[in-house]
Amino acid sequence: MPNPICRALGIRYPILLGGLLNIGKAPLVAAVSAAGGLGILGAGAWDGNELRDQIHQVRERTDRPFGVNVVVRSAYSEEHVRIVIDERLPVVTTSAGDPMRYTATLKDNGVYVMHVVPTVAYALRAERAGVDAIVAEGSESGGFTSLEEISTFVLVPQVVDAVRCPVLAAGGIGDGRGLAAALMLGAVGVQVGTRFLGSVECGIPAAYKESLLTAQDTDTILTRSPRAAHRDLKKDLVARVLAHEREERSEEGLPKSGKALPVWSAGQVAGLVREILPAKELIERMVREAREGISAFSGMPEWLSG
């Protein structure tokens, strides 16, 4: 049976690189797409020039399809939508905001739209907006998450039951077992963030990668603010906050370097990142492990076979 995401986008594997703010740049995006997955540019904080430049850089590296993450609440989102259409990109993920805002415009221009949701209610709203697919993202994921804190294992089957369009699972998927489990929950594919942070092509600082390699299951922390939550690595967090506090300030209290607090976001699945690998190998391993894991079940456990 053809996979609806692969068929619609002309990709080999329904494995998405999640939008990674400021991190999901051309080398990583191109590597994921060239390997048969779907690379997505983490565009949320870029101005229009930066986004165009990154799009062109991906095109220099691969002719495979790739997309852009449009962070709806970002000040640049309107410009990003214009550029996506202008550059004839085939696909976007929209997140952090109302799916009603851009879905019709994007779809009228032939763009495949997937919206990222943290609850069933948001999934229903995305479906009403007319999205092509939904990414159900559990609260174990890295970066911004919902205050509701619903885990992937619980969220995905409920979203699958609630909507008609294809659903992808995100949050906590770091290997082939996670991919196979997502398929069992009714997802047609997965979106992966944290595991790709631990890839050769990901341009984060070496110390950030080192923290991923040594992270245990308990080494991320969720910080709640009135409108959202954010999951980051605990390691060095206090040191990084203090260094930021000590930085010389302008009269308005802004850091003189203009640098934001260096937050090292990661999901709970960081505890599975034990090797930095090329994105191609990560994807191929994930597919191979899922294939082997699922076929191992042809030897059905006695209690299950009835």
Binding site for ligand FMN (CB under 6 A): 18-21, 23, 42, 44, 69, 71, 95, 116, 137, 140-143, 170-173, 191-195, 265-267, 269
Find the shortest distance in angstroms from Cβ 303 to ligand FMN.
32
Rounded-to-integer distance, Cα 235 and Cα 37, Å: 31
Question: Closer CB to ligand FMN, residue 2 or residue 69?
Answer: 69
Q: Tokens in use for 297? A: 């079940």
Question: Which burial class, exposed, middle or buried, applies to 225 when counting CB atoms under 10 A from its CB (0-12, 13-18, 19+)?
Answer: exposed
Residue whose beta carbon is closest to ligand FMN: 193
CA atoms within 13 A on the CB side of 174: 24
Q: Which is nearer to ligand FMN, 63 or 149 (CB)?
A: 149
CB atoms within 10 A of CB 201: 21
Q: Provide long-range contacts, Cβ within 8 A and 24+ apart, for 181-184.
A: 181/153, 182/152, 182/156, 183/290, 183/294
Least distance from C-beta 283 to ligand FMN, angstroms? 13
Q: How are beta strands 167-170 and 133-137 bridged, if at all?
A: parallel
Q: Pick between residue 30 and residue 194 the one whose CB is nearest to ligand FMN.
A: 194
Residue 247 CB, shortest distance to ligand FMN, in Å, is 22
3-state secondary structure of 151: coil
3-state helix, strand, coil in the chain (%, to 5): 40, 20, 40
Nearest approach in angstroms of CB 10 to ligand FMN is 22
CB of 77 to ligand FMN, least distance (A): 11
Shortest gap between Cβ of 196 and ligand FMN (angstroms)? Answer: 8
Comparison of 103 and 191: residue with beta carbon closer to ligand FMN? 191
Q: Between 214 and 295, name the residue whose CB sits nearer to ligand FMN.
A: 214
* Closer residue to ligand FMN, CB minimum distance, 244 or 306: 244
